[in-house]
Amino acid sequence: MKLLKNQLVYALTFVLFYCSLITGVSAQSQQEINNLKAFTKAYGYVKYFHPSTEADQLDWGWFSVYGASQVRDCKGSDCLSETLNTLFEPIAPTVRFSADKPESKPLKLTATPPQPKDYRQVYWQHYGVGKDMINPSELYKSVRVNSQKVEEKSAGFGGINKRIPAEPYLNKRIRLKGMSKLAPSSEGTGHFWLRVDNSDQSPGFFENMNDNPISTADWQLYTITGHVNPKASTINFGGFLSGKGTLHLDMIELEVEENGSWTRIPISNSSFEDPIEDQNWISMGKGYQVMRVVDDLADGTQALEINYVGAPEAITQAPIFQGYPDASEIWTAELTEGLWIAMPLVLYEKDLQTYPIPTVKAYNPDDFTALPTNANGLDFRLGNIITTWNVFQHFYPYFKETGVAWESELEKSLKDTYTSNEKRHYRDLKELTATLKDGHIQVYGKEQGLFAPPINWEWAEGKLILTQVFDSTLGLTVGDVVEAIDGNFPQQYFDQVKAGISAATAGYLNYRANDETLMGAKDSRLTITVEGREHELVRSMDYHKNKTKLKASLPQYKLLDDGIVYLNLDLISTDTIKRILPELENSKAIIADLRGYPKGNHEFINLLLDKADSSKWMMVNQYIYPDQQDIVGHSDMGWEMVPEKPHLGNKKVIFITDGQAISYAESYMGFIEANKLALIIGQPTAGTNGNINMFALPGEMGISFTGMKVLKHDGSQLHGIGIIPDIYLEKTIKGITEGRDEFLEKAIELAKNE
């Protein structure tokens, strides 16, 4: 009865919320939404495909917020066109907005300098996308071809050094002493260093004060003590500045310990009274200047000063593939009814500047302090939606497979954010990207709760079942059926969470939902009902840390009865597989468990292959046009897998997999499926493969996604389908309650059968 009452309260709350939502949406007109949609499209076109110097240097995260604030109140297309022309003038003076489709010829003339032969033609190429991305793998790239940019080519450190023979000091202690100070405005650090090189190239003594660098602005004495071993050939020493700033050095001395006391080793010009080059001091480090000074000394009349001066160098950006837009080409598109954009895709550049130079002052975010700085502000939220939508609009490789109406999702998301707030904004971005059905999409932010109560659960036979209980005082046991979650039916609670999860297959969606329905902020509460009794649980457990700990407690492999070897590919390394090769070679059957993510052990595939597999099943698209129009080509990649001995493919091999298997795991399973290397049992994999890409958003947020297209080895679709098992399995409540691994039991049964 209590459950039904809670459902009634929920229904009433939903109606009230829905009414307020309608009221909130009606507060902004369709004109306002159309204005924002027009700016969103223009933002993406200019950001990614208009090659002006100013657009390349712009802080686009800030500009999305500012632009949204400027266009919202326009009352009609004339106002919007004028506002957009004004808005983009400082960063794209050759871009035009108008009520009618513009003619190309006037814009070509505007974008062409008087002496075009004196200029380089610049344009954008995107291999996947690298602009404003966070690319750990550096696979994806965006290049403004033929443009020049100044790169700092300094060595990172610079200073002086001297070398003396080690022979007189073999098997003795030596000591380097010196006076030094660092200029107060310096960003870097100062260091003395002492190194002993051995004649046989083996490591000798080395110390460079990395753990205790010079950082004070007062003259101080610093000491390094080391040992010269019998194999030493030379003693090297000196001082250097690491990073930017100014370092002063004086009175460098080298001493040797003899009969319990220190004796000075003669060093010419140790106080830099003479030019350093005349006394065998060698200066080092591109971008650093070494000079003598006569003021602020530690001793004598001269000291040494090391200054960072930099080593800027103009680098011309080379093409990353062959395609390019025509120099006379003008991109036109209708942003919204009665409003067009026209822009050149190729510009002329000379002396680090594209033609023409804007006549309007460049944007400076510091001039616009009234803009919101967090997601409590409407324009801040709108800006993040605008940025996010454009990344996928121009570069997401799976629109055809997912069938998402992406422009409709933009309108819905823009409307929804009017009634949102800082906390809800995280959820809004999750719901927007969930429609893309990409298992690699994760929205990261401070609202992302990573703690869970001390339980795990899964669905079996249409019911939500507790699969693990980590606190015996809760009065809960494995196998308990959850009847309600925070007063909601379990399916209803899960559906709310699933609306914010991006997943390509039902199996991966369920896997993620099992996690995310438990997770939340540290010490927040979750109330579940079991057998009519409510249990209030505290999210005190670091969910992922606990999951990693549980995984590590499982066996890497087992030698089972009847000559069966079990391999846990989540945990076992290639080295361990090689170590147990005798057992694998003598086995009757091999069970490989890939319900998760392999531990770099895909070389195991080579032991199963009877012929090489060099198929190309990964592709990165090459873009030069907006909206993914006329994609000029793509790269083809794969793994070069060749048979290795001992050959294990003549044995009975069974692979277990399920919806947890994503990305690398699906690359692995693709070889198993394509080459028929094993019987596959379990459930379909996640249907999401390819190196991830990631971008940051203002507000300490970020979003990851799949940046390439991956097919099956026969060229058919993988995304949203996954690797389909030969034998489909489901867990049962009885099996969960008894703590049995029913998938493994089935594999063992099949392995034993002749």
Per-residue pLDDT tens for 321-369? 999 999 989 999 999 999 999 999 999 999 999 999 999 988 887 777 7
Measured torsion, CA atoms of residues 265, 266, 269, 273, in degrees rounded to the nearest 10: 100
Span 369-389, mean pLDDT? 94
pLDDT digits (tens, 9 = 90+) for 64-92: 999 999 999 999 889 999 999 999 999 99
As given in the structure block, the two tokens for residue 461 are: 């036979």
398: phi then psi, degrees, rounded to nearest 5: -125, 30
Question: Do 733 and 460 meet the contact criterion of CB atoms below 8 Å apart?
Answer: yes
Phi-psi region of 319 (alpha: psi -120 to 50; beta: other; left: phi over 0): beta
pLDDT at 14 over 60: no
**Distance of alpha carbon 538 from alpha carbon 525, whole angstroms:** 5
Beta carbons within 10 angstroms of residue 133's beta carbon: 18
Question: Do 194 and 228 meet the contact criterion of CB atoms below 8 Å apart?
Answer: no
- What integer pLDDT is reported at residue 740 of this predicted model? 96
- What integer pLDDT is reported at residue 447 of this predicted model? 84
**Distance of alpha carbon 78 from alpha carbon 495, whole angstroms:** 44
pLDDT digits (tens, 9 = 90+) for 545-574: 998 889 889 999 999 999 999 999 999 999
Question: How many Cα atoms occupy the beta-carbon half-sphere of 738 within 13 Å?
Answer: 9
Span 504-523, mean pLDDT? 96
Burial status of residue 306 (CB atoms within 10 A of its CB: 0-12, 13-18, 19 or more) = buried
Q: pLDDT class for 279, splitting at 50, 70, 90? A: low
pLDDT digits (tens, 9 = 90+) for 610-638: 999 999 999 999 999 999 999 999 999 99
For the chain, percent of residues with pLDDT exceeding 70: 96
- What integer pLDDT is reported at residue 150 of this predicted model? 87
Whether omega for the bond prior to residue 356 falls within 30 degrees of 0, making it cis, is yes
Phi-psi region of 492 (alpha: psi -120 to 50; beta: other; left: phi over 0): alpha
Question: Do 215 and 182 meet the contact criterion of CB atoms below 8 Å apart?
Answer: yes
Q: pLDDT class for 26, splitting at 50, 70, 90? A: very low
- What integer pLDDT is reported at residue 383 of this predicted model? 97
pLDDT at 500 over 80: yes
pLDDT digits (tens, 9 = 90+) for 661-699: 999 999 999 999 999 999 999 999 999 999 999 999 998
pLDDT at 195 over 60: yes
Beta carbons within 10 angstroms of residue 394's beta carbon: 20
As given in the structure block, the two tokens for residue 235 are: 């003693």
- What integer pLDDT is reported at residue 21 of this predicted model? 39
Q: Are strands 727-728 and 679-682 parallel, antiparallel or unpaired?
A: parallel
Average pLDDT value for the chain: 93
Question: Do 483 and 2 meet the contact criterion of CB atoms below 8 Å apart?
Answer: no
Question: Do 691 and 137 meet the contact criterion of CB atoms below 8 Å apart?
Answer: yes
**Distance of alpha carbon 91 from alpha carbon 88, whole angstroms:** 6
Burial status of residue 474 (CB atoms within 10 A of its CB: 0-12, 13-18, 19 or more) = middle
Q: pLDDT class for 7, splitting at 50, 70, 90? A: very low
Question: Do 166 and 234 meet the contact criterion of CB atoms below 8 Å apart?
Answer: yes
Question: Do 193 and 208 meet the contact criterion of CB atoms below 8 Å apart?
Answer: yes
For the chain, percent of residues with pLDDT exceeding 90: 85
pLDDT at 406 over 70: yes
pLDDT at 11 over 60: no
pLDDT at 17 over 50: no
- What integer pLDDT is reported at residue 275 of this predicted model? 85
User: If you count them, how many residues does the chain have?
Assistant: 754
Q: pLDDT class for 646, splitting at 50, 70, 90? A: very high
Kindly state the DSSP code that residue 731 receives in the 8-state scheme: -
Secondary structure (3-state) at 66: helix
The helix-helix angle for 406-416 and 422-434 (nearest 10°) equals 170
- What integer pLDDT is reported at residue 297 of this predicted model? 84
212: phi then psi, degrees, rounded to nearest 5: -145, 65
Beta carbons within 10 angstroms of residue 120's beta carbon: 16
| Top-confidence residue, 297 or 480 | 480
**Distance of alpha carbon 366 from alpha carbon 421, whole angstroms:** 24
pLDDT at 27 over 70: no
pTM of the model: 0.83
Span 245-264, mean pLDDT? 95
| Top-confidence residue, 15 or 722 | 722
Please provide the DSSP assignment of 477-543 as one string: -TTPBEEEETTB-HHHHHHHHHTT---SSHHHHHHHHHHHTT-BSTT-EEEEEETTEEEEEE--EEH
- Kindly give, in sequence order, each residue whose CB lies less than 8 Å from that of residue 714, ignoring residues fewer than 6 positions away: 674
Secondary structure (3-state) at 87: helix
